[in-house]
Amino acid sequence: METGKVINKISNRLRRRSKKIQESIGISGAKGNILNYILVESENHPVYQKEIEEEFGLRPSTATETLKNLEQAELICRVPESEDGRYKKIVFTEQARKIEHILRKEITESEELLLQGITEEERKEFFKIIYKIFRHKEFQRRMTSEFNHHNDITLGYHVLEVALCTYKTCKKKIEKGIKVNIDVAVKIAMLHDFYELPWQNNKESSSKNLIHKHGFRHPIEAVINAIYYYPFLFKNELESIMIIDGIVHHMYPLAVPVLTGFDTNEIELKNYDKVKKIDKNLLDKIIYSTNRGRIIKLSLCKSKFIEGRIVSNSDTFVSINNYESLKGVPALITGVNKNIEV
């Protein structure tokens, strides 16, 4: 995949995420996201049900039901292909065309707001940094509705927003003469929430022990997955320490569990099976990081490095905007979020 294609793909994904346009037409959640997808992607190629299933991680039966609801609302219709009638492309109806200008206006404004203050040259630099991380199939999984992260915002969208916020902040620091490794900072941002399982309303991700619950545990899962899926990022000794410490402590002032070792799954990691495939030197760095700022069984401290602290602040800023209200915040501890559509 060429860098240019990746840039277009990310840009399209960012443009599609807008709650306001969904609310303006009375459709939200999965149906609203699918409608946004059809609007943006149909500009470039015919859209079929199979593509929507893959993009949103939906079963065929679920996708069929969702599209049926949009058809009943007279917002889309399925038109047989002239060359092969078995294939039906999904298109906007005349009813949908009446509100198309509202959709396009909000999409454009959302994109401009997100990328505000970034020049074309800076966009290319940003996408070059995230290219290898973004294109990986495990990251792509986290772009789908399988991984709802804050309410119904997917993990991938959230991470891209944090990475962009991190990039902008680093640029401002550099302009002021502050030394920052922008490459490392953005990589930390891209991997800070690379945890194993969808955590909201998912019993498989839960734990009875309070400090083993997702909100406390997930930074350690994220750093294990980062090393496992992207080993090439951990070849440099100093950068390895910076990335590991930045991911482990990105939730500050929320603490992370202290690790005494990896001989047993002491904090109920959901990706513990990957531990035995990771170099011991890197595992030792994770253990060391979780023992900084130790208070009994918890580590409570900021990242040692400015790059990690920038990511932590960016994550907080983006998360507050993601939630829109504080109703979804307790889900970090309980794992139960009533704001999400089933």
Instruction: Identify whether the C-beta of residue 169 lies closer than 8 Å to the C-beta of residue 313.
Output: yes
Tokens of 38: 């059809």
The Cα–Cα gap between 152 and 167 comes to 24
**Residue type, position 143, single letter:** M
Does the 3-106 domain belong in CATH 1.10.10.10? yes
pLDDT score recorded for residue 252: 95
Q: Which residues of the chain have pLDDT under 70?
A: 1-30, 85, 98-117, 150-152, 200-202, 321-342
Give the other-Cβ count within 10 Å of 215's Cβ: 20
Instruction: Identify whether the C-beta of residue 115 lies closer than 8 Å to the C-beta of residue 15.
Output: no
According to DSSP, residue 199 is labeled: -
For the chain, which residues make up each domain, given as ranges? Answer: 3-106, 118-334
- Concatenating the DSSP letter of every residue in 99-157 gives THHHHHHHHHHHHHHHTTT--HHHHHHHHHHHHHHHTSHHHHHTTSGGGEEETTEEHHH
Say which residues have a Cβ less than 8 Å from residue 121's Cβ, sequence separation at least 6: none
To the question of pTM greater than 0.75 for the whole model, the response is: no
Tokens of 252: 């500050």
- Concatenating the DSSP letter of every residue in 74-108 gives TSEEEEE-SS-TT-EEEEE-HHHHTTHHHHHHHHH
Tokens of 152: 């119904």
**Residue type, position 49, single letter:** Q
pLDDT digits (tens, 9 = 90+) for 107-143: 666 666 656 667 888 888 998 999 999 989 899 888 8
